[in-house]
Structure 1
Amino acid sequence: MSFFLQAVRMTLRDWRAGELRFLLLALAIAVSALSSVSFFIDRIQAGIRDEAAHLLGADMVIVSDREFDSVWLNQAKKYGLARAETRIFPTMVLSGKGGETVAKLVSLKAVSENYPLRGAVRIAGEENDPGKKAATIPGAGTVWADPELLREAGIRPDDRVRIGNGFFRVTQRIVTEPDRGISFIHFAPRIMMSLLDLEKTGLVQPASRVSYRLLLAGNEKDIERYRKWAEERIKAVSIKGMRIETLEMDRPEMKTTLTRARQFLSLAGLLTAMLASVAIVLGARRFVSRHLDACAILRCLGLTQRQITLMYLTEFFLLGLAGCLIGILAGYLGHLVLLGVLERYLPQQMAAAGWKTVVKCLLIGLSLLLGFALPPIQHLRRVSFVRVIRRETDFASVSKAALYLPGLIVFAGLLFWLTGDVRLGVWILGGFAGLVAVMALLARGALKIAGLARKKLPFPGWRFSLASLERKPVVTVVQIIALATGLMCVLLLTAVKNDLIGAWQRAVPADAPNRFIVNILPGQKETVEKRLVQAGLGQPGLYPMVRGRLIEINGKSVDKKDYDNERAKRLVDREFNLSYMPELPPQNTVVEGSWFGKRRGEASLEERLAKTLGVKTGDKLTFDVIGNRIEVTVTSLRKLDWSSARVNFFVIVSPDGMEEMPQTWITAVFLPPGQTGVATELSREFPNLTVVDIGHIVAQVRTMLDRVTLAVEFLFLFTLASGILVLYAALTGTQEERMHEASVLRTLGATRLQLRRTQRVELVFIGSMAGLLSATGAELAGWMLAVRVFELEWAFSPAVWGYGLAGGIVCALAGAWLGLRKVLNTPPVQSLRSLQ
């Protein structure tokens, strides 16, 4: 208790003397940035997840080829889950006036009350009406229809159409439908009716192929409980034709966007944590440099090393607790301000901030402070009695890398915990460590070159400045690295950040295809292509599509009984859409093997499909194409960018031997709002064509991208504040040494003008080196994140080096003005006495 009281007294004394203010400020800003990011990330990720769930119309969907019995409904009721049901199947709709009947293939969707559970159907009465959220489902005897169907069939609002045995009045146009998807089963125009009216049509018979869907929504815990129960029941009862749909597993067009959203948000948290650690290291080092004399006196008064360690650990703990509480409060208020600013851009439903975030931020702040304060404390306990007489300061020993290993381990663990993204954390940590090591080597090399060139410089002041830097190489290198680290993160958060986000936005451009044109016959290919070019839509990419069933893998017959995975069973039980082409299509990346060579019968598979079916490069596959056996060898696996909304194929075969197979062609084009009539004209000229509007899917992807982009940009402001703190700490970290040196030189007769010029040369050298290193590090970090983590295209920007060089010099000179102007305006004797 006596040591605790003494630690409290030391804390209060150091506070009154101003010794703890910088470290408290560093910790408070670091924790406020961390907590702001953490609060916001936790809430925005929950909100994004809720909005993403709108694309399923629920939190989870059970799909079956038979009607759900009461067991499924009762279990959902037991867990307190909201539920709705839909039936989806293709059928024909008949319309016409004056004795002329028009028949159109449609995808009929019958929905129950409460549909959808997440999101909303938007409907409109007029052609160009942006629409409004539907408050209910279609009323009895009425249907809603896609605008394309109304245009192509000449149907007007309030017209009656025949579906099966029933007649229904068309009352609304469907503008958007949350769970539409871009699967080929949804490519026919939509007709939506009430589930209660389905029996009236007489279309559902015992042998009908209907997709039954049970939509469920509730809290995450109950949804997870139901999912586990459903998986066990499907496996125990061996229910065929039933699967569980989740957003990431069954909506590939959204998976990439969601993954990148989490990665970008995690990046903000990672950089903030990294900068917080650098600021704490610099602040702790400054604290130690000011307490070496006090520790030497305590050793003379009889305190042991263990007692000194306990007292300073207690002082740091009290400081850390205060700093964390201040930071968490400021961070919470800051994230509320951020939510207010971004209110119109954020998801409508935002989760409440939880106490777990508070505990997490408190533990992170204390762990960072104590983890990185331990090395300086270890140095304090080893201060010699002799320092009372001989007051040398060994800064190199304070900065020994081995002593920071516990802090680095804590730092790595906290990063993974904070972001939940191990892959991103490994890349950031590994890249940061590598960049710091390279920076240290380059900085040391620059000092040696400057030392060799010093004697040839014409100005004595320059020679003296470089000699001063050369006399303390460790301190100079540490300062260059610290300044470069802060500048690197600032550049990464400003100039390079725009390149990163720009690359992400280019992955889903504004002119991304919004129409698929399918079922183009070989004889129509050139004409359709010509019509699209004449409409000013550019040169469309048309791809052949051959229907084939996988029958053998490595000579062994394929049977769905051989697979436990439901998706694998569905894949081997249906036909594949095969395609052939000599060149790798856009938005495709070979991740294993190589693209087609000179051999015949090669195939490239989508990597997720290959994993599901247990296929690897070198395996031989056999497809049945209308009685023709097509044998191919898997020579490559591809990664597809589903968010691009372009034509993608799971299986691409080398062209040889495929041109003569029965085939149709498919393309994807972007139709601006004023040219939607092009699709109608094509359908009239070629009745066999199916034109599918996927504009709502692309719009949903872009809306999510825009919201996350805004969130990331605002989160980077908090991280930028931490970067500025690191810059300040780096520039003022050697303030005492520079003040002491300047006072000695003034005592020996140096003028203020000479000192100012000398310091400027030193700081310009440090700032230039730090600026160039920071720009190089920022560009390399941007490339690494873009290519290795976010899987985006990257282009280096030469302007970043200009920003880095200018920023380094300006920051260094600003630090000189802030840190040394007082000593230059103070008499040497008074300045030296203040340092005793």
Structure 2
Amino acid sequence: MTLMPDIFSIKTAWRDARSQYKSLLVYCGGIVAGVAALVAILSFRSDVLMTVDEQSRELLGADLEISQGRPYSNELVAWIDSVGGDQARSIEFSSMVMYGDVTRLSQIRAIEGPFPFYGEIKTSPETAAQTYQQERKALVDRPIMEQLDLQVGDSIRLGTEWIRISGKILEVPGESAAFSLIGPRIIVPKDAVAGSRLLDRGSRVQYKTWFRFGSHSQPGVTRDGQEVRREHIPDEDEIGQMASEVREIAGDSRINVTTVASRKQDFAQIIDNLTRFLGMVGFIALMLGALGVASAVYVYIKRKSATVATLRCLGASSRQVLYIFGIQVVGLGFAGAVAGALLGLLVQRFLPLLFTDFLPFELVQQVSLPAVGLGLLTGMATSIALAVMPLMSISSIPPLLAVRITDFSPLAHVSRRVKTGIGATVILALTLILAALLQSITAAALFIAGIIASILVLLAMSSLLIRTVRSLRLRSLSYVWRQGIANMFRPNNQTSVLVTTLGMGMLLIGSMYLSQEMILQRIDFRTGEDQSNLVFYDIQSDQLDDVTDISRDEGARVLETVPIVSMRLTHRNHRPVREIRDDTTSTASSWALTREYRVTYREELNEAETIREGEWIGQSEGIGSGKPVPVSLDYRLADDLAAGLGDTLTFDIQGVPVDTRVASIREVDFQRPQPNFFVLFPAGVLESAPQFHALTLRTPDEQTGARIQQAVVQSHPNVSAIDVGLVLQSVETFLDKVAMAVQFMALFSILTGLIVLASAIAISRFQRLKESVLLRTIGATRRQILGIQFVEYLWLGALSCLTGLLLALIAGWLLALLYFDLIFVPDLWALLAASVVVIALTLIVGFLNFRGILQSKPLEVLRAEG
């Protein structure tokens, strides 16, 4: 017995589909949008990874990069000198810069040498990047020059030095346009900052060295045995070994080592994270489309029950009938997948425009056959998997139905064992498909389990609705309302199908919206009258009084003076940090163990701090008491250090070891525009330690803040400032760009949901046709028929949307609690507005559905329907 369909099945499927092509096209509309989203996302990922692979050296600008937040040790300097090759160095730091009369916190890169070795810094004019070091001029970020109307040839002030602008920075290797949102970038020769006083005291500096290999030599041997010098270009493994040597030399000192291979890996990780989220968007759209196909196939087969019974009476086997409709469903999935793939390739061409500000390179695009193939297979597999159950119900349609007029539900006559087997297979298939997209079987299983639970809830709600409506006595209502409500439980009703389809659409769209809002949640800068809008930091102790006087003289209100002490962790529970890092069983993060800590001390907690565990102790007996100093850790740092209450931490403060004990664990609100700290000391310990200060101010307006910044920078160039208003604008700009990209992809889910909604309502036309004609025949007016449909769809749409909305809120709450770690505050008005739109669309599509019927004569419609 062959599994291939015979000629009779193929011909019959084609002939039947030709007369039903309009309804079949309606069914596959949802698949198109879902596959389009997947193909576009997978193709985008392929384009990015291909571009990164081709331009990896240009993205780094070198073969190897090392950077450290302190001057290099003698050992590291000796290693750098021994490596050879072409080298370039830089000193990078943030500082206040005067652009004419305006002051801005900027990112300074003081470069010495021919960096970048690969790629180029693109400037306007083009020659500026090649001449700025020889001419001792500056390259300045284009956005700040355009914002302040600066021209090439104008001057900027770095510390005490005035430097002319040589050109605008258009592009820097390995950096996207969004990088400048942190602060304007300025590139100057390294010797330009030597006399600027910017590196005198309290400056936080990053020292970098770049290497290009291939121009140095190593010993070799000729055929006559004499040693000569020959050129050697290290491969990736050798460069990786060099990186390991650097880390060994650095020891406990935190150092960043970047190679071409690690830069490629970093980009691949970022793109994987992005495309996993976007892949979830595409799968949600595809699931909506597949649910629409499944419900449409069920209604289609139910409507074709008489045709199936007739074929059985004429001698067709159940297998042949299954093949006839199976061919149509497979063709339906294939047509939707192909159309979706073509649309996805079109979207792929425009998708990079949404991510231009986030990609540090110009994307190279090509048609990715694996992405197209995976999109096609996923679309077909998902749509067919969800249509298997309705298809299997064909075998339960009896031949007697050809001569008996009755309401027959094929799915109700399929055995429980068959339903269970098919259901388990479909669930496994969907889980594997989603796991391939998310690269996580656990996440896929949880998502599918949530979908199943939601469908069961919606089916239960539809059954409850039918039973409730059936039990109501609505004699006081008008005929239109009674008939419209009764339509929800009459023969051939579609209450379960519509409630499930519309409810799932609302659930998935609502969940997508809530997830997007949580991902794009704005940082809450609580800038009330008692909150700072200007912060100075890196103030030395002998500068504090002068900076405070300048601020007050200009009309600012000083809110808080915060002492800051730098230190490093050397031991945890008397165990050296290096030993903990080498222990592969340790759960402590390298970042927490090796970072430089900047801490403060005070007697009281501030408004941004809440004790979670333990007790805050605001006064200490001091280091000389012989007792560990009681300190408080932020709970996130405690997790990273694997430290709890009672654990001991030893810090090194300028060569002086200080033993501390974790007395409390806090939750710190780092969103507040004020200095906040992972580690908090009590008063009585650090007062005599080397320290600098931060000063928080409240200025009455932007002009006052600008005057204060200018006056402080002129007197104390090493002092930096954070203008909270400008930071807020930059964050808003960045998040708006992210929001636009994510919202565009979310439109695929919304579009698919609307298509499925329209399809679910449109297929009801073939069920309602004879009933509506019968009502017209016995005297019902067009207005009454429209009123009946209005009442039914109003109830169905409202119940479906509200149930889906409730499930979406539950899903959003779980995501906020378990995944995003946020306080769940949904935008109920936006969700209710979406519900109103869906209900309105339900009514509009329902009206359009019956417009053609009402314009035709009853006899014509009955003849056309047979």
**TM-score, normalised via structure 2 length:** 0.71
Alignment partners' CA distance in 2, 1:245 and 1:766: 59
Q: Any idea what the Cα deviations from partners look like across 1:319-375, whole Å, max 9, x if unmatched?
A: 433332222122212433566799899876113132221112111112112211211
The 3 A distance-change label for structure 1 pair 458 and 579 is same
For residues 306 and 637 of structure 1, the distance between their equivalents in structure 2, rounded to whole angstroms, comes to 68
SS at match of 1:349: coil
Change (3 A) 1:521 1:238: closer
Residue number in structure 1 paired with 2:597: 576
Q: What amino acid maps onto 2:18 in structure 1? A: R
| Per-residue deviation, 1:394 | 0.9
Distance in 2, Cα, partners of 1:216 & 1:640: 44
> How has the CA–CA distance of structure 1 residues 762 and 500 changed in structure 2, closer, same or farther, with 3 Å as cutoff?
same
- Equivalent residue in structure 1 for 2:381, among 367, 380, 385: 367
Tell me if 1:520 matches 2:531. Answer: no
Specify the alignment match of 1:78 in structure 2. none
Matches within 5 A, 1:594-743: 594=612, 597-598=615-616, 601-605=630-634, 607=636, 610-611=639-640, 613-615=641-643, 619-625=647-653, 627=656, 629-633=658-662, 635-636=664-665, 647=675, 649=677, 651-653=678-680, 655=682, 657-658=684-685, 660=687, 662=689, 663-666=691-694, 676-685=706-715, 689=719, 705-743=735-773
User: Residue 17 of structure 1: CA displacement?
Assistant: 0.9
Report the CA distance between 1:631 and its aligned residue. 1.6
Query: SS where residue 597 of structure 2 aligns?
Result: strand
Q: How does 1:101-500 map to 2 (within 5 A)?
A: 109-115=110-116, 120=121, 134-136=128-130, 138-140=132-134, 142=136, 144=138, 151=157, 153-157=159-163, 192-193=188-189, 211-214=207-210, 230-231=239-240, 234-235=243-244, 239-241=248-250, 243-245=256-258, 265-266=278-279, 268-310=281-323, 312-336=325-349, 349-353=362-366, 354-390=368-404, 391-394=406-409, 397=412, 402=420, 403-418=422-437, 429=448, 432-455=451-474, 457-471=476-490, 475-489=494-508
Q: Is the 8 A contact 1:61 1:216 kept in 2?
A: no
Could you tell me how far 1:665 is from its partner in structure 2?
2.5
More off after superposition, 671-680 vs 719-728? 671-680
- Tell me the residue number matched to 1:15: 17
SS at match of 1:351: coil
Question: Could you tell me which residue of structure 2 aligns to residue 66 of structure 1?
Answer: 77
* Inter-partner Cα distance in structure 1 for 2:443 and 2:508: 16
Q: Do the aligned residues in 2 keep the contact of 1:4 with 1:314 (CA within 8 Å)?
A: no
Is contact 2:117–2:212 with CA below 8 Å preserved after alignment?
no
Distance in 2 between residues matched to 1:244 and 1:237, nearest whole Å: 8
Match for residue 521 of structure 2? 503
Give CA-to-partner distance per residue, 1:35-69, whole Å, 9 cap, x none.
34444565579889999999976797444733666
Distance 1:477 1:352 in 2: 45
1:781-796 correspondence to structure 2 within 5 Å: 789-790=819-820, 795-796=825-826
AA of the residue aligned to 1:681: A
Aligned ranges 1:45-60 → 2 under 5 Å: none
Q: Report the CA distance between 1:155 and its aligned residue.
A: 2.9
Query: Structure 1 797/714 Cα, relative in aligned 2: closer, same or farther at 3 Å?
Result: closer
Q: By how many angstroms is 1:240 displaced?
A: 1.8
Moved more, 530-539 or 433-442: 530-539
Contact 1:560–1:569 (8 Å) recurs in 2? no
Aligned counterparts, 1:529-540, within 5 A: 532=551
Q: What is the rounded CA distance, in whole Å, between the counterparts of 2:728 and 2:123 in structure 1?
A: 16
Mapped contact 1:280–1:369 kept (Cα < 8 A): yes
Flag the 1:59–1:792 CA change in 2: closer, same or farther, 3 A. farther
Greater mean deviation of Cα atoms: 557-566 or 45-54: 45-54
Residues 464 and 661 of structure 1: is their aligned pair in 2 closer, same or farther, counting only changes over 3 Å?
farther
In 2, are the aligned partners of 1:8 and 1:315 still within 8 Å (CA)?
A: no
Point out where structure 2 has 5 or more consecutive residues left out of the alignment: 69-75, 94-106, 145-154, 200-204, 214-233, 619-629
Shift in CA distance, 132/67, structure 1 to aligned 2, threshold 3 Å: farther
Match of residue 89, structure 2, among 78, 86, 89: 86
Q: Deviations over 1:635-668 (max 9, x none)?
A: 54869979x997564x323536556463432358
Identify which of 828, 846, 849 aligns with 1:819.
849
Are the counterparts in 2 of residues 436 and 481 from structure 1 also a CA contact under 8 Å?
A: yes
Distance 2:207 2:685 in 1: 33
The residue number in structure 2 matching 1:32 is 36
1:652-699: per-residue Cα shift (whole Å, max 9, x none)? 235365564634323588996995553342245557745589999999
Q: Which moved more, 1:358-367 or 1:696-705?
A: 696-705
CA distance in 2, matches of 1:576, 1:821: 72
The 8 Å contact of residues 517 and 668 in structure 1, kept in 2 or not, is answered as yes
Identical-residue share of aligned pairs (%): 19
Question: What is the letter of the counterpart of residue 155 of structure 1?
Answer: E
- Look up the equivalent residue of 1:239 and give its one-letter code: E
User: Following the alignment from structure 1 to structure 2, what is the Cα–Cα distance between the partners of residues 386 and 542?
Assistant: 90
- Give yes or no for contact 1:775–1:804 (8 Å, CA) kept in 2: no
Cα separation, partners in 2 of 1:502 and 1:562, compared to 1, 3 Å: closer
TM-score by length of 1: 0.73
Q: Which amino acid aligns with 2:426?
A: G
Secondary structure, counterpart of 2:365 in structure 1:
coil
Give, in angstroms, the shift of residue 822 of structure 1: 3.7
Deviation at residue 725 of structure 1 after TM alignment: 0.7
Q: Is the 8 A contact 2:354 2:740 kept in 1?
A: no
Aligned counterparts of 1:692 and 1:57: Cα–Cα separation in 2: 30
Cα deviation, residue 171, structure 1 = 6.3
**Pairwise CA distance, 1:110:** 3.5
Moved more, 797-806 or 717-726: 797-806
Aligned residue identity for 1:666: A
Is residue 454–residue 467 contact of structure 1 (8 Å, CA) maintained in 2? no
Deviations 1:4-35 (A, max 9, x none): 53443234223311253223444334323433
The CA distance in 2 between the partners of 1:763 and 1:832, in whole Å, is 24
Q: Distance in 2 between matches of 1:692 and 1:806?
A: 44
* 1:234/1:341 CA distance change after superposition, 3 Å: closer
Give the letter aligned to residue 651 of structure 2.
Answer: F
Q: Secondary structure at the match of 1:631?
A: strand
Measured in 2, the distance between the counterparts of 1:262 and 1:687 equals 44
**Structure 2 residue matching 1:517: 3-state secondary structure:** strand
Maintained 8 Å contact 2:132/2:139: no
Q: 1:792 to 1:527 in 2, by over 3 A?
A: farther
RMSD in angstroms over aligned alpha carbons?
5.7
Q: Distance in 2 between matches of 1:648 and 1:286?
A: 61
Residues of 1 paired with 2:191 and 2:324: CA distance? 73
